[in-house]
Amino acid sequence: MTFPILRRGEMRRSARPMSAAWAVLALGMTACATTATPSRMAPDGLLASISAGTAPVVVDVRTRREYDSGHVPGAIHIPFYSLLARQAEIPGSRDEPVVVYCEHGPRAGVANLALRLAGFKDVRYLDGHMSGWKERDLPTEPSPSSP
């Protein structure tokens, strides 16, 4: 393997984009390290609070197709990749609890980080996510816009 010989200025210029990438990565890792592990909300507890009219804000971060096929009653749909841009759609204050879920957990993890970086103080996971909700045979509702 051969390596090209670069003039000093070329090396420095080519390193700049990597420095910025490392800075962004370090910031994200710092945020993860300083953010408390989110608590979980049991599906039965969430269903009870929905029935009692005391449910926290519930955000489904799955795709539109997944959401339309059935979601937790009363959940709002904001895909995980657009959560920061659409955070104003989350009702209530940033101090109130927000429960996020996807199908199995990874997208909810990204959503948790995004909401915490946006200043939401009490972000919780739905324990078992949507797959756990379905396994317990708990009620779902289709999207009003689903065909």
Each residue's pLDDT tens digit, 81-114: 999 999 999 999 999 999 999 999 999 999 999 9
Q: Is 102 one of the catalytic residues? A: yes
Q: Is residue 88 part of a domain?
A: yes
The CATH number of the domain holding residue 47 is 3.40.250.10
- Is there a single domain that holds both residue 46 and residue 29? no
The arithmetic mean of pLDDT across residues 14-42, rounded, is: 56
- Is there a single domain that holds both residue 131 and residue 108? yes
- Is there a single domain that holds both residue 100 and residue 125? yes
Confidence at 34, pLDDT banded by 50, 70, 90? very low
Q: Is residue 146 part of a domain?
A: no
User: Phi-psi bin for 137: left (phi > 0), alpha (psi -120 to 50), beta?
Assistant: left
Q: Is residue 144 part of a domain?
A: no
Alpha-carbon torsion angle 86, 89, 91, 95, nearest 10: 10
The arithmetic mean of pLDDT across residues 25-40, rounded, is: 58
**Is the pLDDT higher at 2 or at 37?**
37
Element (H, E) at 24: helix 8-34
Per-residue pLDDT, 93: 95
Q: Which residues form the domain of 44? A: 37-135
Asked if the model's pLDDT at residue 140 lies above 80, the reply is: yes
Q: How far apart are the first and last CA of the chain?
A: 58
Catalytic residue among 83, 102, 108, 126: 102
